[in-house]
Amino acid sequence: MGRVIYIDGPEKAGKTTLIAALKSKLESDGVMVHTRHWGVVKPDDRVYAPALEADLGRGTKGVVIWDRGWASEAVYGSLLNRQRRGATNPWILEWLHGRAVVGNGLRIMYLPMNTKVSLQYRDDTDLPVNPEAEYYEYLNYARRFRYDIFTNNYTDWGLQQTVERIVDTLPEEGEVSPKYITNDLEAPLAPRVILGEARNKNDFKTMAGAWLPFTSAKMCQFVQKYFGDDAFLFSWTNVEDFEHGMVPMRRLRTAGEVFTFGEKAKAFCVANNVRVDSAFSHPAFFSRWNTERGRTELARFEAQYKGAFDIV
């Protein structure tokens, strides 16, 4: 499996210098390194999906360092009033892209020591935004979605320390693509697992940029509405991918808690002696407002989900 180090941050934060130093360090340690540099993308963030899938896919070796990506879509979409979905809903960017990197690399926000220092380095090639507003947009994004935040003090010593810390925290190569399970961390760090039944092959295609579990158009709406940012604290996967051998069973057996959506998911756990902490109907039933079962199952879920999933 490949690994991705995703680095983002304001103009003149020093990302290019950091990436060059990081690449040099990793290569000196015998790691094969590639880089991807992103500018303004068209039509929107969906272009990141095939690149992420390729860089993190089976058979990929080494590390790919990403220079900018979906966080910039959110920041500059907001500051420049771009008509992009990430400008008004940054959550969808992390759900479709960011969580693929968790457990398979690092998400790093690289910020200047302060905006006064970075202002000295700005020129006509930079985007026409207020540096202070830009700084806080990136900082708040990083804090909200739990990025690793590093600060550039514009010294050789500081750069070396940052590179060493990044290399020290870079996870080992994984064995399972995030296409089949996200937040794929081993015990005791393994998060709680939410197990569905299978991908909705038709609806899945309607969400541009979708390739991770639970990213059909309807499921994205469902997860954001009920889980919000807490969704990123769980590992998401499907029975189908265990049955096809894409995800090892120990991912369920070493999880702190297991939650199921759908009768097939619950039955799968019972058959494999996996304890189920809470079981709910398939979310498809929740949208069937005109049936008695749909109304009943939705009411049950809404009454119990906060306590079951420990959502505030």
Provide the residue-wise pLDDT of the chain in tens; the chain has 312 residues: 899 999 999 999 999 999 999 999 999 999 999 999 999 899 999 999 999 999 998 677 899 999 999 999 999 999 999 989 999 999 999 999 999 999 899 999 999 988 777 777 777 788 889 989 999 999 999 999 999 999 999 999 999 999 999 999 999 888 888 999 998 765 556 679 999 998 776 665 678 899 999 998 889 999 999 999 999 999 999 999 999 999 999 889 888 899 999 999 999 999 999 999 999 998 887 776 578 888 888 899 999 999 999 987
* 3-8 and 192-196 beta bridge pairing: unpaired
d(CA 266, CA 275): 9
d(CA 59, CA 240): 21
d(CA 293, CA 281): 10
Question: What b-and-e string marks burial along 152-179, b requiring 16 or more CB atoms within 10 Å of the CB?
Answer: bebeeeebeebbeebbeebeeebebbbb
A 10 A CB-CB count for 21 gives: 17
Structure tokens given for 141: 């994004």
d(CA 8, CA 10): 7
Write phi, then psi, for 268 (nearest 5 degrees).
-60, -45
Residue 41's closest CA among 7, 84, 2? Answer: 84
For residue 188, the model assigns a pLDDT of: 53
